[in-house]
Structure 1
């Protein structure tokens, strides 16, 4: 059983004494991807080429942190030294799967949210609802924002916050959900350089069976942490949050690998 408070505690303990190095390594990781993406014309394609090997490297670094196995900055280029082709291939396999599935799920989420919004509109702003449904007056959809004080300040703020947050989640959560079965792919490749891309993807799919909901909740918790950290620190807090999010995912990987191993022994 995954206990999130234990994951958080283990993450802080693992990062003790490593915070400065981790911040630097993850900053360089994001900087490398950002610089490559900024190259005119070919930046997007080149970023796809380097993202797989770099992700393997950052997984190696995260695993070394939690195992107290002398994590070092050079871990970042591990994926370029070992299993380079499969690191690139894994990314090229996963990207189209996640993009297509995520887009379909995002449309579904947005449709559900839009239906909820129309329901709220029909209850509190019946005239605007009728104007939209009868004459397709799209400006009528903005009534809750234009008539901010009609329900009272508190009610208006709560409703608008609910709508904004729900639509934001609809834009983010679908991509998290569709990527869940493949989330451990690069950790598997980081541990075993002989594993090819497709085998790692299949192993991740099997490993995540029974843990998809836990991983989803972990990402929701991280998302809820990231939003206020970004707002109240003007994004400076992300320097600490990004290493934290990767290391806690590495701990999650270790936990489910251990549980899966114990279950396999029981079956044997």
Structure 2
């Protein structure tokens, strides 16, 4: 499937700041699941800095903006052809060993309820166990936009019984790690045109390491594995680590952010 992406993130400051430094994870993953035809990232009044590929295979690009400035726009446009690999991430070059993805973080720290949920999965195989855990999370946390915020933990979302894709991913990661399955958070885009359900084009899911198969994606929010509707950007231990844009502003002003994302299928 050939997908077109337009992603605009706008930062507003209530008083001009002296400058902004950002780190972007905004380039599609180089893997067999997707082929990038063209991709552009532009930052208003921005200066592109250095870049590097991290141990998980993600390309990290630095940007800086000199102040005084009270508004910054980060605009991403591009076209990607995707293929359905049954959820398996194929051809991604990375050097971090899977065991490193077993460590917990604050958003994925399990409580008694998460431990109880993880214990319900009974499949004798690692792949079956991962599928069971994804289904359990989908059943336990109803998808409801606006029910949680960026700082909600997996334990809090489970106690609430509702959340968004970030909460589903965090909960699945926590449950998988409890069952000794390395797991990580994935950020990207989702083409949502056909099912009529409310979903956000900026999306997140989890990947679980299955010995002999590799990293396999699971999206509890949509009760499926990533297919040709998904564009993968990058991964991390949790949503903060995998954020497409991270940064800091120099100055006393407070920051607000607006995000607009559109994903459309183009003519083959």
TM-score norm. by structure 1 comes to 0.22
Higher relative contact order structure (alpha carbons within 8 Å, sequence separation ≥ 6): 2
TM-score norm. by structure 2 comes to 0.22
Q: Which has the higher strand share?
A: 2
